[in-house]
Amino acid sequence: MKLTLSGYLKALYFKFIDLLHFPFVKKGKYDSYHHLYDEFLSVGKSIPSPVVLEIGSRNVTGISRRNLFPNCREYVGFDILPGESVDVAGDVHKLSEYFSLEYFDIVYSISVFEHLLFPWKAVIEINKVPTRFLLSQNYPNPFNPTTTISYKIPQTEFVSLKIYDILGREAATLVNEEKPAGSYEVQFNANGLTSGIYFYQLRAGEYSETKKMLLLK
């Protein structure tokens, strides 16, 4: 196979990086950073259908991290520069201008430069516990006959999640029990119900919120 100049320079570049980080590499079961990374993945995989944000996702090494979350409902790669794995390019210091603060279940960052020099280190952020109550819009919407309703609670509460028709009559009870702090998803099957507008209401302690959804058969 013929080696091109660009291929040769790329090989030299990665060899140089290997020489830089070789004295610092620390591997083994006592590496606290590996433990942190494993814990992060464990927590991430325990969240059903999470929405994931990776900060600094520009693909420099050619390695994509999206496959770390095969169960995610949505994965957003964010970086200041466009790239192969970047879904949204912008200033991370103005992240709240691009997304709602409660939009993501998992937020993490693995710095490209730190990863090159200290590959066992990972700078990770994850909001394990919600900071406030949140009832999300069901998806899909409109739906037929099933849809998913997600909600978050920041503390242990007795939770009630009920469905009502346009006349205010109760059509279904999806949750009616005490729940610890966390993020939850509930599947609603509207078999047996007619097309139309329905409302779903979440009650948890003193918190109450109602949203509208549309069933189309």
DSSP string covering 151-197:
EEESS-EEEEEEEEETTS-EEEEEEEEEE-SEEEEEEEE-TT--SEE
> Quick check: 72 pLDDT over 90?
no
Higher-confidence position of 202 and 8: 202
* Structure tokens belonging to residue 105: 């279940």
Tell me the CATH class for 134-215. mainly beta
> Quick check: 122 pLDDT over 60?
no
User: What is the mean pLDDT of the segment spanning 180-185?
Assistant: 85
Neighbours of 116 (CB within 10 A): 15
Neighbours of 161 (CB within 10 A): 21
* Cα atoms in the Cβ-side hemisphere of radius 13 Å centred on 174: 22
**Do 107 and 127 touch, CB atoms closer than 8 A?**
yes
Calculate the average pLDDT of the chain.
Answer: 78
Higher-confidence position of 43 and 134: 134
Q: How far is CA 58 from CA 139, 149, 187, in A?
A: 29, 32, 35
Q: Start-end ranges of CATH 2.60.40.3080 in the chain?
A: 134-215
Higher-confidence position of 40 and 211: 211
3-class state of residue 53 by DSSP: strand
> Quick check: 84 pLDDT over 60?
yes
* Residues 6 or more apart whose Cβ sits within 8 Å of residue 125: 107, 108, 109
What is the pLDDT, as a whole number, of residue 94?
73
- Phi then psi for residue 166, to 5 deg, are -65, -20
What is the pLDDT, as a whole number, of residue 215?
97
